[in-house]
Amino acid sequence: DVTVRKPEQGTAPKLFYIEGNDVVMHPTATERTPDSFMWADVIPLHAGKAGGNGHHAAPPATKARNLNMSAKLADTAIKSPQTQGQPWQGPIQLGSKMADHMVQVGYNAQHKVPWHWPVPAYLVTKGIAAGLFLLFGLGLLLDKVSWAGWLPAVTAIASVVFVGLTTGLLVLDLEKPERFIYILLRPQWRSWLARGAVVLISFSTVAGVWALLELLIALGVMGDGAMSTLRPIFLYAGAPVAIMVAVYTAFLFAQAEGRDLWQSPLLPIHLIVQALMAGAAALLIILLFVPDEAMSSYAVTALVIGLIVDLFVTFLGEFGMPHASEVAARAAHDISHGHYRNHFWFGSFGIGHLLPLALLLLGTLLSGAMAPLAAVAGLLTIAGLYLYEYAFVMAPQEIQNS
């Protein structure tokens, strides 16, 4: 009689356990691990006093968990948990009480969290780069963009700078950054890490040529006549590449089996919304130094729409629907009610959404105050987005997976 761990993940594991015990096979069968193992100390995931599983002691309000652990998302079955393992209430029940304290961990492999702050930062920077490009392409289509002056050149250069920062952050977070070149020289094409590198290079090329031409026009070296023909080619042909820059991380996350919160089918849509929101926020900051009244109105409208849609997707989509598995539900709970609740509620919801909307509303009421208030709103939006991405990236990595 043999079994494997998490057969519902569909990873075809090659390690079989003879008469494997259900509790041992289920990493989250116990709510906590002891402060120390039998022959080793427990390495906390967070600084300061932490419990055995690396989490800070939860406040009383978070002790009672109400995890939405339905195996369905929008009435469509995603993963059906197999009989191996235990339900979330714990392996031992005394009446209706959970008795997980009767299950102790003698020893476990303590894996380091592989992704840190550069990954959330990279999600923000690539969103800004793609968002600025997409906003100008959409503005060209809707005839909302003013092509006179320095604004197109500054925006195009900003897009290139942020995609450069994105690449730098990706290299920084590699275990051996000096081997980054091997992703290009010896790529593993089944990995979205290699595919994403090609996407970033393609976008850098398109945005870089666009930025160079806009700079030549702003400097008076090149006339605007030819550019009126070239702009649609660059912006419309580059739009699919910019969209891929925004969304390819969703496919990269989807390859991380075991981190079920990242498996959400809404994530590609959410990343596009975040890119447009971040692009509009960055554009409002640029407009503080390169004023353009028509573009300011366009950017404010884009940011307001982006903030509202992002709230809808976050609360009704990512966190409002039942999660596909217990692991996804635990990670979502850690974001909304656990260790990362301040990042989520105070950071993302308060700083990143409510305050920017309030400032933009105030800007419409105060004559002449829209530009500085909109720039501050844009800065707060980007800060709130980073705090959300930090929680979204870190929380699933801290759920016990072995």
Helix H, strand E, coil C: the string for 101-144 is HHCCCCCCCCCCCCCCCHHHHHHHHHHHHHHHHHHHHHHHHHCC
Instruction: Tell whether the torsion through CA atoms of 56, 117, 285 and 145 is positive or negative.
Output: negative
The CATH number of whichever domain residue 163 belongs to comes to 1.20.1630.10
Flag whether 385 is in a domain.
Answer: yes
- Domain boundary residue, one of 94, 110, 126: 110
Query: Residues 138, 81: one domain?
Result: no
Q: What is residue 107's predicted lDDT score, i.e. its pLDDT?
A: 67
Flag whether 125 is in a domain.
Answer: yes
Query: Residues 349, 389: one domain?
Result: yes
Distance CA 120, CA 311 (A): 19
Flag whether 64 is in a domain.
Answer: no
Query: Residues 102, 140: one domain?
Result: no
209 band by pLDDT with thresholds 50, 70 and 90: very high
Look at 15-24, 198-207, 393-402 and tell me which has the smallest mean pLDDT. Answer: 15-24
Indicate whether 122 pLDDT > 70: yes
Query: Residues 346, 248: one domain?
Result: yes
Query: Residues 351, 268: one domain?
Result: yes
Q: What is the pLDDT of residues 130-162, one digit of tens each?
A: 999 999 999 998 888 888 889 999 999 999 999
Q: What percent of the chain has pLDDT over 90?
A: 45
Query: Residues 234, 348: one domain?
Result: yes
Flag whether 59 is in a domain.
Answer: no
Flag whether 34 is in a domain.
Answer: yes
What's the chain's average pLDDT?
81
- Domain boundary residue, one of 62, 82, 110: 110
Q: What is residue 47's predicted lDDT score, i.e. its pLDDT?
A: 47
Flag whether 19 is in a domain.
Answer: yes
Query: Residues 139, 39: one domain?
Result: no
283 band by pLDDT with thresholds 50, 70 and 90: very high
Query: Residues 136, 222: one domain?
Result: yes
Helices 293-312 and 267-289: crossing angle in degrees, nearest 10, is: 150
Flag whether 58 is in a domain.
Answer: no
Flag whether 244 is in a domain.
Answer: yes
Indicate whether 220 pLDDT > 80: yes
Query: Residues 194, 160: one domain?
Result: yes
Query: Residues 278, 355: one domain?
Result: yes
Q: Which range marks the domain in which residue 131 is found?
A: 118-397
Q: What is the pLDDT of residues 25-77, one digit of tens each?
A: 666 666 555 667 766 777 766 644 444 333 444 433 434 344 444 444 433 44
Query: Residues 328, 309: one domain?
Result: yes
Helices 355-365 and 293-312: crossing angle in degrees, nearest 10, is: 150
DSSP secondary structure letter of residue 41: B
Distance CA 109, CA 317 (A): 34
**Nearest C-alpha neighbor of 314 from the set 280, 355, 273:** 273
Distance CA 362, CA 51 (A): 45
Query: Residues 322, 215: one domain?
Result: yes
Domain count, the chain: 2
Contact 85, 25 (CB under 8 A): yes
- Domain boundary residue, one of 56, 90, 110: 110
Look at 43-47, 192-196, 362-366 and tell me which has the smallest mean pLDDT. Answer: 43-47
